[in-house]
Amino acid sequence: MSAPARVLVVDDSPTMRGLITAVLSSDPEVNVIGQAGDALEAREAIKRLNPDVVTLDIEMPNMNGLDFLEKIMTLRPMPVIMVSTMTHRGAEATLAALEIGAFDCVGKPGPGDLRPFGDLAEKVKAAARTQRPFSQPVTAAAAPPPSVADFRVGRKIVAIGSSTGGVEALIAVLQKFPANCPPTVITQHMPPTFTKSFAERLNRLCAPVVQEATDGARLEIGKIYLAPGGERHLQVSGASAPCCRLVDRAPVNGHRPSVDVLFDSVAELAGRNAVGVILTGMGRDGAAGLLKMRHAGARTLGQNEKTCVVYGMPRVAHELGAVEQQLPLSAIGEEILKMTAARKEGTE
C-alpha cells in the first residue's frame, strides 16, 4: 500500500475547514497534515509541511484563491483542488483556476446535501498520484482553426466525454474546430451551475457556437452542445432530425450526466456516421459506451497517457479495445476534422 496522500486544507471558514478535514480523514488513504485560514498562512504551511495536495477556497480575505493559485503555479507548482460556491461567480472563478492549472474542483455543499464533498477524497488521491508537470499546464495551440472555406463538413456527429482535466482539454480540442464544425455533443463531469458558465466560456474562445444543451435542441452544423450538470443525462435521438434529449435517470458510473449514456445513444442513432472521443478523467465512465460506438462502426479516439491530467477513462477505454487511435491532446482536434470532413466526391 502506498503512503497516504498528504493534504493541506485552505479555507477562511473554520466550519468549512472542519468539514473538509472530516470528509478527507474518513479515508485511510488520505492524511490531512494541516489547515490554513488565508493565503499568508497557507504559504507558510506549504513551506513547512510540503503537502502532496492543497484544497483551496476560491474566496478568501487578503488574497483570493485565484491570485494565490497563480503564485503557487509560478513558485511551487503542485496539485491544487479548488473549493467553490455553487454560484455563477464561483463557477467563473473556478473555470479560470482550472485553466491556470488547478487539478480539479468541488462545489461547497448546500442545505440538505447528504454527501458533502462526496468524491473529494478520490480526487485528492488521484491528484497525489498524477504525473502531470503542473508548472507546464496543457494549453491550446495558438494556430487558428481552418476557415469555413477550407473545411467541407460531412454528415457525422461528434461525441466527446471528459472529466478531471477536461476544461483545458476541451478548450484545446474545440479551438481547432472551424465555425462550420460537425454537430458535436459533450458530457464533461462538472458540478451543477458550472456547465452554463463553461459553455459561455467555450463560446467566447471557439469559432463554432457553443451552448448548454436543452431538451429538443436540433443538432446543427457549427454548433456544440454541452450537457448541463446535475439532474439529467444528455442523449441524442431522432433519425430524420437528430436532437438533444435530457433524460431523468439514476446516475451511471456514479455520474449524472454520464458519458456512457451519451455514447450509447450516439451509437444507436448514428452508428458509422459518428466519431467518439474520450479525454482525460478519473474512473471508467464512457469506456463501455465508446466500445459500443466502435462496434456500431463509429471512428473512436482516446487521449494518450502523456497528455492526460488523469489517465483513467482513456486507459479503461483503451484496455477494452474501444479506442481506434490514442493521440496526444494537440492532435485530437485535427484528427476529428479529418474523420468528419466530406469526401471530395460528395458528403459521407
Catalytic residue numbers read: 163, 189, 285
For residue 345, count other CB atoms closer than 10 A to its CB. Answer: 5
Q: Which of 52, 50, 56 is nearest to 5 (CA)?
A: 52
Rounded to a whole number of angstroms, the CA Rg of the chain reads 20
DSSP 252: B
**Measured distance CA(309)–CA(305) in Å, rounded:** 8
In one-letter notation, the amino acid at residue 91 is A
Do residues 249 and 261 lie in contact, with contact meaning Cβ atoms separated by under 8 Å?
yes
Q: How far is C-alpha 93 from the chain's CA centre?
A: 16
Do residues 197 and 226 lie in contact, with contact meaning Cβ atoms separated by under 8 Å?
no
Q: Which of 19, 52, 196 is nearest to 120 (CA)?
A: 19
Residue 324, CB-side half-sphere exposure with 13 Å CA sphere? 18
**Measured distance CA(117)–CA(84) in Å, rounded:** 11
**Measured distance CA(182)–CA(225) in Å, rounded:** 11
For residue 222, count other CB atoms closer than 10 A to its CB. Answer: 17
Q: Which of 103, 275, 266, 101 is nearest to 181 (CA)?
A: 275
- Grid cell locating 240: 430524420
Q: Give me the residues paired with residue 325 across strands.
A: 301
Strand pairing class (243-247; 233-237): antiparallel
Q: Where are the alpha helices (DSSP H) in the chain?
A: 14-25, 39-49, 65-75, 88-100, 120-129, 166-174, 194-205, 259-270, 287-295, 313-320, 329-340
